[in-house]
Structure 1
Amino acid sequence: MHDLDWPGSYGQENDPPCPPDPSETPRPRRKSGALMLSEDEARHVRVAVRKLRRAFGSFNALAARLDMPANTVRRIANPKGTPPTGTFAIRLAAVAGVAVEVLLGGKLVVTTPIIGRAA
């Protein structure tokens, strides 16, 4: 005959959870210093975000091209908001169609297309 206690109750994930050990609590993660921009580069990226917003019509249109939430793009464009990262600068340069160095150097020139004229 089979034992009614088989398999045992251990390992069945029905034990109450153990309280977390204070020495094992995870520390908050910090952003990598390699992807942080200098103050000048961050300022240039913010200016580029505002220029591209005007070129595309709205933060929503720019955010759709960046594949990001519009509120995130708005926070990055705000001088007192979240500082832009290197990853964001790379994505923004890809949307603008320029090199990242041009974007970080502050030499981005955005022209609106003229409708009805050949380029």
Structure 2
Amino acid sequence: MHDLSWPGSYGQKNDPPCPPDPPATPERRRRSDALKLSDEEVKAVRVAVRKLRRAFGSFNALAAMLDVPANTLRRFANPKGSPPTGTFAIHLAAVAKVLVEVLLGGKMVVTTPVIGRAA
């Protein structure tokens, strides 16, 4: 039978110490300067995203080919959105089947595929 009048062992200064509190804000790591694009290159990538969206039909189709969310493409295409990264430019050039230098130089030409005609 249990004796309910006897105090338990908790709260008797024999509890294990509490773990320390985590820091309030974790430190953010800076991105490498090697993958940052210049203003002209950012503008060229944004134009390329908009051209490829028209060529593939929608942001969703292009996002499926790039394996990124469609909202990320919309944000990169928007001039007021966050700037695209160099890694994204490399993936975009691979999907567009052009050289990265052509994409970043702003000289990319996109033609829509014609269904039913031999190339």
Taking structure 2 as the reference length, what is the TM-score of the superposition?
0.81
Q: Percent identity?
A: 74
1:32 offset after TM fit, Å? 1.2
Aligned to 2:30, the other structure's residue is in SS state coil
Aligned positions, number: 104
Tell me, in whole angstroms, the C-alpha distance in 1 between the residues paired with 2:22 and 2:102: 49
Q: 1:41 to 1:19 in 2, by over 3 A?
A: same
Higher Cα Rg, which structure: 2
Q: Give the aligned residue type for 2:21.
A: P
Q: 1:17 to 1:96 in 2, by over 3 A?
A: same
1:16 offset after TM fit, Å? 2.4
Per-residue Cα deviation, 1:39-83 (whole angstroms, up to 9, x for no partner): 000000000000000000000000000000000111000000010
Q: Give the aligned residue type for 1:56.
A: F
Q: Which residue of 2 aligns with 1:16?
A: 18
Q: Give the aligned residue type for 1:47.
A: V
1:28 offset after TM fit, Å? 1.5
Aligned to 2:54, the other structure's residue is in SS state helix
Q: Which residue of 2 aligns with 1:3?
A: none
Q: Which residue of 1 aligns with 2:9?
A: none
Q: 1:108 to 1:18 in 2, by over 3 A?
A: same
Give the stretch that moved more between structures: 63-72 or 27-36: 27-36
Q: Which residue of 1 aligns with 2:4?
A: none
Q: Which residue of 1 aligns with 2:10?
A: none
Q: 1:15 to 1:115 in 2, by over 3 A?
A: same
Q: Which runs of 4+ in 1 moved over 6 A?
A: none
Tell me, in whole angstroms, the C-alpha distance in 1 between the residues paired with 2:38 and 2:94: 20
1:19 offset after TM fit, Å? 2.4
